[in-house]
Structures are given as C-alpha cells and as structure tokens.
Amino acid sequence: MTIDNVMQLLPAYMLVLCRISAFIVVAPVFSSRSLPGPFKAGISVFLALLVFLTVGFDQPVPTDATYIFSVLKEIMAGLVIGYTASLFFSLIQTAGTLIDISMGLGIANILDPISGVSAPLLGNLKFMLMMLVFLSTNGHHYLLGAIMNSYKWLPLDNRMFQIIYEGRLTEFMVRTFADTFVLALQIAMPLIVAMFLTDFGLGLLARTAPQYNVFVIGIPLKILIGLALLILIMPGFSTLFQIVFDRMFDALEKLFVIMKTTS
C-alpha cells in the first residue's frame, strides 16, 4: 500500500475514529473514571481500525469544507448510541436514590469510583452488582458489537442532521428516558411501599401510644426493615439485571432502525 492510498483512506478512518471515540466517552463500562485516559484512547484507535478493516469503506470521503460536518455527524452518532446505553445503567442509581430517600439514607451519599460523582448507598451497591453481572455475561462484547454493527444501519454518508430535524430521534430519546424512569420506579416500588406501610404503622403507634418517640425508633426501624427486604430480593437481582440488559439492546436496535429508515 502506497502513501497515496493511505492518504485516501485516512479521512474515512478518522470519521470512524470520531464515532468510536464519542461512544467510548459516554458508553457504560468504557467511560469509567477508573480507566486511564491512554487506555481509552488506545482502545478507540484499535476499535476504529478493527471496524475500518472489517466493514470496509470503498467510497472516497470528500475532504472539502463538508468534512467538518461529517465529523460532527459521526461524533453525534457515537454520543447518541453511547448515551442510550448509559440510560439503562443510570436507572439503577435512580432506583437506589428513591429507595434511600424512603429509608432515610438520602443524606448518606458516597463517591462513586466509576462515575466520579456522589451516589446513593443502595444505588451504588446495585450499580456495582449490575456492572459485575454485565461483565460476567460478556455484555461489553455485545455493546462493542452494537457500535460495530451501527455502520450497517448508519454509514458514513448518513444524514444525521436531517434525522434530528425530522424529530423522530428526539422523540425516541425522550420516550427512552421516560421508559427508564418508569422502570427505575418499578424496581424501587417494593421497598417504597414497605417504607410507606412502616410510616403508616409508626403514625398509628404515635396516635395510640404517645409515650413512644417515633422519631427515635422510626429511623433505625425503617433501615432494618429496608435492609431485610433488600436481602430477601437480592437473589432476584440477576434476573432483574438481565431484563434491563434486554431492554437496553432492544432500545439500541430501535435506534438503529430509526436511523436506517430515515437515512
């Protein structure tokens, strides 16, 4: 391969690298703050090279002023794909936040080593368990396969800006965000209902036996009941996480279909 051939293929490779890099920045697992920056850059370059050699891009990419818009389109495509996947990981922390608020642990946030932000106790616990299940089931391989298969649905000569202008992509993102929030509420609902019944019982106790200080016994009682219920439902977390993973990959498939039918 001569230098002229390399210079002809380099613009297309840089477009592939833009989409892969944007995906790595926001995608779950790969966007973890515990992973060093050189590793993320290296895996982006390697995956871009692998995609470039696997998919193959025969059509030359123009390097005129429209190349800047092509770069923006590829960056936006990678961000949309990665953000859609990250929504389904964020719902676990949302469910944990709702549970912590109902149990009285809302003020006891800790630093999440993966995202680098303050996270609820139970939300961080569930998120770490979900991450372990995701890695043990080779979910990161399927996630990489999704970004590699995205070029079959959304090639380099796509019309990303037109897709966004038509509104179907925005509608999909809003609907996916709403679905993930509803799913987070469904996950947290058993413990929320249990804490509501506990508060209701403490209210009856305060009316029938005023000598008991419900503010003193209420907080540890709610924590004990919440932890007991959490231990009881913990064996079902693997099935719950598998449902979340299935929803995530279904959402990615719907996203690719929207991009395919409108491009």
pLDDT at 6: 59
Neighbouring CB atoms inside 10 A of 190's CB total 14
Q: Which residue has the higher pLDDT, 75 or 161?
A: 75
- Residue indicated by tokens 């370059």: 45
Show the DSSP H helices in the chain as ranges: 3-26, 37-55, 66-103, 121-136, 139-153, 160-166, 168-208, 214-233, 237-262
pLDDT at 129: 79
- State yes or no: pLDDT of 114 exceeds 70: no
The domain in which residue 185 lies consists of: 3-262
- State yes or no: pLDDT of 171 exceeds 50: yes
Dist CA 144 CA 150 (whole Å): 10
Contact 56, 231 (CB under 8 A): no
pLDDT at 152: 81
Note the pLDDT tens digit of each residue in 17-64.
888 998 988 888 888 777 788 888 888 888 888 888 877 666 667 677
Neighbouring CB atoms inside 10 A of 117's CB total 10
| Mean pLDDT of the region 129-141 | 81
pLDDT at 111: 56
- Residue indicated by tokens 């779950």: 28
- State yes or no: pLDDT of 72 exceeds 80: yes
- State yes or no: pLDDT of 2 exceeds 70: no
CA 64 to chain centre: 35
Which residues, 6+ apart, have CB-to-CB distance to 241 below 8 Å? 129, 130, 133, 134
- State yes or no: pLDDT of 113 exceeds 80: no
How many structural domains is the chain composed of? Answer: 1
Q: Which residue has the higher pLDDT, 148 or 55?
A: 148
| Mean pLDDT of the region 163-176 | 85
pLDDT at 59: 66
Counting residues of the chain whose pLDDT is more than 90, the rounded percentage is: 0
pLDDT at 262: 47
